[in-house]
Amino acid sequence: MRVGFLHSLIRKDEKLLIAELRKRGDMELVFLDDRRLVFDLEGRPPVDVVLERSINHSRAMHALRLFEGVGTVCVNAYEVARRCGDKILTAASLRDHGVPQPEVRIAFTPESALAAIEELGYPAVLKPAVGSWGRLLSRVNDRDAAETILEHKAILGSYHHSIFFVQRYVEKGGRDIRSFVVGDECVAAIYRTSDHWITNTARGGRASNCPVTAELAEISLRAAEAMGGGVLAVDIFEAGGGFLVNEVNYTMEFRNSIDVTGVNIPERIVSYLRGVVR
């Protein structure tokens, strides 16, 4: 089986996947550097499956669409990347599938966004629809802050910063959960703990093992299914005795989660590839 490895920069996560792929006698690794690719809408890459690991969301999403357009199986699928990569589409998909999530509002002008924030109440969280690693998230504590942030976004941001995604702030007790879904199994989960309200490990959140209970597995799999399934990381808040799905990530970063969970996540991902090609 020839595995196309769609990438740009190779981080530790990609190195672990490459090492795993090279261990497999039945898999041939074909590097597809997104910085060198040129698509003509017709040519099919000489691979049986593409494993997407691009660091750029926009490149990943378009490349997946173009690969799928010529009949190449991709992990994850284009539609999954599209839904996960845009928080508005994520929220809509979670809603379509009845998956619990923090209350959200979407608005298209600073004025309507301010009204939305006031309706949700303070503090509220303002997020870029497309973004990751906890960047440009704002916890809006009062009306003065709301007006300032919205004005800055409208004037200084590019056009997509004028699409406002507002989320009710969830008091999560200094931690959230990241679960890892591979196909139809929730293979592992971690707590991400931080003194800061942003708990992403990219922002200094500490990873520790989180037992995968039946309830956690269920909501993780439901969230993954809402996105279209595949290899996904689900960010979850514990609130009110239940779970709320915050985000779903389609190019999941797992390097900090292997040792603490004892689960060889790259091995599970590579094994999953075999199943999708059959």
Binding site for other proteins (CB under 8 A): 7-11, 14-15, 18-19, 22, 31, 33, 55-58, 130-133, 135, 202, 233, 249-253
CB of 22: closest distance to other proteins in angstroms?
Answer: 8
Three-class SS of residue 44? coil
Nearer to other proteins, 146 or 231 (CB): 231
Non-local (6+) Cβ contacts of 85 within 8 A are 57, 60, 61, 130, 250
CB of 240: closest distance to other proteins in angstroms?
Answer: 27
Closest CA to 231 of 196, 170, 179, 166: 179
CB of 88: closest distance to other proteins in angstroms?
Answer: 15
CB of 87: closest distance to other proteins in angstroms?
Answer: 12
Q: Do residues 64 and 251 lie in contact, with contact meaning Cβ atoms separated by under 8 Å?
A: no
Nearer to other proteins, 33 or 215 (CB): 33
CB of 7: closest distance to other proteins in angstroms?
Answer: 6
Separation between Cα atoms, residue 14 and residue 3, nearest integer Å: 13
Report helix angle 214-227 to 87-96, nearest 10. 110
Nearer to other proteins, 135 or 152 (CB): 135
Non-local (6+) Cβ contacts of 122 within 8 A are 140, 141, 142, 143, 146, 169
CB of 220: closest distance to other proteins in angstroms?
Answer: 16
Q: Do residues 235 and 248 lie in contact, with contact meaning Cβ atoms separated by under 8 Å?
A: yes
Nearer to other proteins, 237 or 250 (CB): 250
Closest CA to 100 of 32, 42, 168, 164: 168
Nearer to other proteins, 9 or 70 (CB): 9
Nearer to other proteins, 7 or 105 (CB): 7
